[in-house]
Structure 1
Amino acid sequence: MRGPHEEHAGVRIAHQRKLAGLTQRGLAARLPYSYSLLRQVEEGRKNASPDLVSAVARALRIDVTVLTGQPYVTELQQDRLAALIRPIREALDLYDLEDAAREAATAGDPASDGTAEHSSGGTRTAEELAAEADELCRMVRATHLSRAAHALPALIAEVTVAAHRAPSTALWRTLASAYRTAHDIATKLGFYDLATIALDRLGWAAERGSDPLLAAVRQYMRALAYFREGEHSIGLRLIEAGRAVAGQARDQDDHISLVVRGQLHLGASVISARAHDADAVSAHLREALAYATRTGEAGRVHWLSFGPANVAVHEVSAHVEMRRYGKALEKSRAVRLPHDWPLSRRAHFYIDRARAEMETGRSDAALTSLMAARKLAPQQTRYHPGARETINGLVAQRRRTPDSLDNMAAWLGL
């Protein structure tokens, strides 16, 4: 059992419950979970699953991040990442201010991280700007968060100026790409308010670029934000809105269209899993697999990683969300990740597998999976609430084991 002052979701739940003036039984009455489970979570004897955390947050009318402890300020300061968030926030605020964006672009120096050798005076071509936006996206997918975060504000400023001076579909798409990178960085570091702002900017750029598939991707990402908050019905409505927008694309059999529509089904599968709707999960996974069979592995379409491998990984995630941990482990053994898959996606798979292993008592295997995630994506793993809570669960299991052995030995008269 954890010590009384150790920081884990159960401790935060207990603190917020008391602030709300509720007993454990009073809070449990508002949840789709038992009083016994809530008590064990608060005491650190059971892991706080993401769906339980989101249910508590809804019941107490607080943000999920209050219970997960995000953003993890101490670690961010240690990794020198906290100071990189404010410039990104300021760059997002300049979306409709060409003069201010031009000043920021002139003052910036994105060459300092080695991604490009130029002064940010706004003289690059649309193709050059798009290439750097793609490179920053690649950095995030490779989990080089600090490098991407350092270069991003100046790029946003420069593309903002260029798009206002000579509007074109290509420049608006590039700006949307930069906003997507801002969203991904903010999400991975736990700054969900900033991630929401970045999504709003993405929608603004997609509208000006007249790109229905990009707008559909934004709806998919908005749905995942509500998924984190446990708002399943809103998340699913956003997925449906995304599918409607994607249906406006000129060529429904185009490769990009197939990828986006397939990814929307994957998003719906994990949201349905959080809602414990197994039939809907199966239906969405079947639809996604049908699309994936047609597209093959498609890793660079609107910064998605769609394909048969992602369908298999989402099936594992869905079983974890539905607390079918044995089934999740069974499915995980059949997963074959492509060699060129983004490190961020590979690490996420290992974090999911670790949770299933921990919940089925395979402590050593769970730790091995978490170590694999750390090796692939150290920054992402350090700031992933699932990884942190799984570690807390493993610590609790290890501390219980000696007591269990002592009790068994005493019972046997040893």
Structure 2
Amino acid sequence: MVASDLPIGDRIRHYRGERRQDVVAGLVGITPDYLSQIERGLKVPSLPILHAIAQELGVPTAALLADTPAPSRIPPDTAEPAIVRAMMGYGPPRDTPLAEPAALRGRVDSAWRVWQSSRTRFTDMADALPDLIADTEYAARTHGPAAHPGRHRSIMRVRADLYFLLRSYLRRTGRVDLSMVAADRALRAAEEADDPLRTAAAQWNLGHVLLAAQELDGAEQIALRAVEELRRAPITEPGRVAMSGALHLVAVVAEARRRDWSAARDRLRNHARPAARSVGEGNIMWTVFGPTNVALHEVSIEMEAGDASEALRVADDVDTKDLPSMERSFTFNLEVARCHNVRREDAAVLLSLLELEDLAPEDLARTPLARKLMLTVIRRGRATHARQAEKLAERVGVF
């Protein structure tokens, strides 16, 4: 069974297996070069040729046809249905005892730790989040602001943190639409809690949703407006500095994606890096802000600017082993793989992908760029590298 979005050429290569390309081409009646171009996605075979290839490979013609348009290369929605139902209010009825704010706080904090550290975090969230969403919403409805003002604010802080997590989960599972809903709910909860730091974190989360939706100007404006609001907020200095630094990184990403490399570098150098040096490594509001995270963004800027060699030079000085977030380590190593891919260093790309499989196999299976890099090594790499990449693709469900 192959992924529904796998292009025709990759399907042919998969089913050809160890059979020599020139032998299959000769039996079909086409040149080896033509079959090679088909497998690399440079040529689209006519239906009669596709039928002949399928017959020679011993599979139905339909097995070589992608179920979705090949250019998208995006895996199907992988959000757990139970999580989506609970978030949209269609979960099971709340007939369990009302959860106390302290208990909900412990469960949300635990879910966040799992989300940032577990190799099987998507599976873990499928088990934990549906009931946690339902219980938190039940508590929020029961403890209204008029009758229980203190408890209501406590629950709103918990609710904000829960929807921060949901924003991240839904974006990573391809539901940018619902990720926007989660970010909006988090912002409303933080405002109801009258919590300036969480309100800033909610705007940071909203900024990331806008980045995912390619709304770059909106992401930058929200982040910088939140920085200004933090300057006037009654927050202790380390928290203010760290959250402001994290928000500046949202603006850095927006500027880099707009190809304004100078502005991105200046903001990182003049705002994000000094803030990171001031507060040190941390994880304020689950943002993983600190010097290492700033360095990861520097790698991304140079990669986006097309200087893969400079990006790799910067990456050589980055050590992610102590980061509290496995996702940030995953993103960094994926960026390194992308740099090697630009330099056509297939052995290094493959090594990075294998390290990513060991670090976070579920993330590897859900990341479009990782899938693209696997297919690139299969098409372009030496036979040994191509075979290893194909085995990896099989393990994570691309084939």
Q: Encode CA deviations 1:248-267: one digit per residue, 9 max, x unaligned.
A: 4213x522221110001111
Aligned 1:274-289 pairs, distance under 5 A: 274-286=257-269, 287-289=271-273
Aligned partner of 2:83 in structure 1 is 88
Whether 1:159 and 2:148 are equivalent positions in the alignment is no
Q: CA deviation at 1:142?
A: 1.8
Cα pair distance change 1:66/1:232, threshold 3 Å: farther
Partner Cα separation in structure 2 for residue 241 and residue 374 of structure 1: 38
CA contact (8 A) 1:92 1:201 kept: no
Q: Encode CA deviations 1:55-87: one digit per residue, 9 max, x unaligned.
A: xxxxxxxxxx996444435xx5xxxxx5xx332
Q: Encode CA deviations 1:96-116: one digit per residue, 9 max, x unaligned.
A: xxxx88x6343xxxxxxxxxx
Query: Aligned AA for 1:148?
Result: M
**Runs of at least 4 residues of structure 1 off by over 6 A?**
399-402
Cα pair distance change 1:6/1:210, threshold 3 Å: farther
Q: 5+ unaligned residues in a row in structure 2: which ranges?
A: 1-5, 12-36, 43-68, 146-151, 386-399
CA contact (8 A) 2:196 2:230 kept: yes
Quick one: which of 81, 106, 128 aligns to 1:131? 106
TM-score where L is the length of structure 1: 0.70
Query: Aligned AA for 2:375?
Result: N
CA contact (8 A) 1:325 1:360 kept: yes
Larger C-alpha radius of gyration, 1 or 2? 2
Q: CA deviation at 1:392?
A: 2.4
Aligned partner of 1:121 in structure 2 is 97
Matched residue count? 318
Whether 1:365 and 2:345 are equivalent positions in the alignment is no
Aligned partner of 1:200 in structure 2 is 184
CA contact (8 A) 2:83 2:129 kept: yes
Query: Aligned AA for 1:128?
Result: A
CA contact (8 A) 1:215 1:245 kept: no
CA contact (8 A) 2:160 2:186 kept: yes
Partner Cα separation in structure 2 for residue 307 and residue 313 of structure 1: 10
Aligned 1:7-156 pairs, distance under 5 A: 44=41, 68-72=72-76, 76=78, 85-94=80-89, 104-106=93-95, 120-122=96-98, 124-143=99-118, 144-156=121-133
Q: CA RMSD, aligned part only?
A: 2.9
Partner Cα separation in structure 1 for residue 165 and residue 7 of structure 2: 39
Partner Cα separation in structure 2 for residue 400 and residue 145 of structure 1: 33
Cα pair distance change 1:69/1:219, threshold 3 Å: farther
CA contact (8 A) 2:171 2:209 kept: no
TM-score where L is the length of structure 2: 0.72
Partner Cα separation in structure 2 for residue 338 and residue 399 of structure 1: 31
What secondary structure sits across from 2:286 in the alignment? coil
Partner Cα separation in structure 2 for residue 216 and residue 361 of structure 1: 41
Aligned 1:240-279 pairs, distance under 5 A: 240-251=224-235, 253-279=236-262
Q: CA deviation at 1:246?
A: 2.7
Q: Percent identity?
A: 27
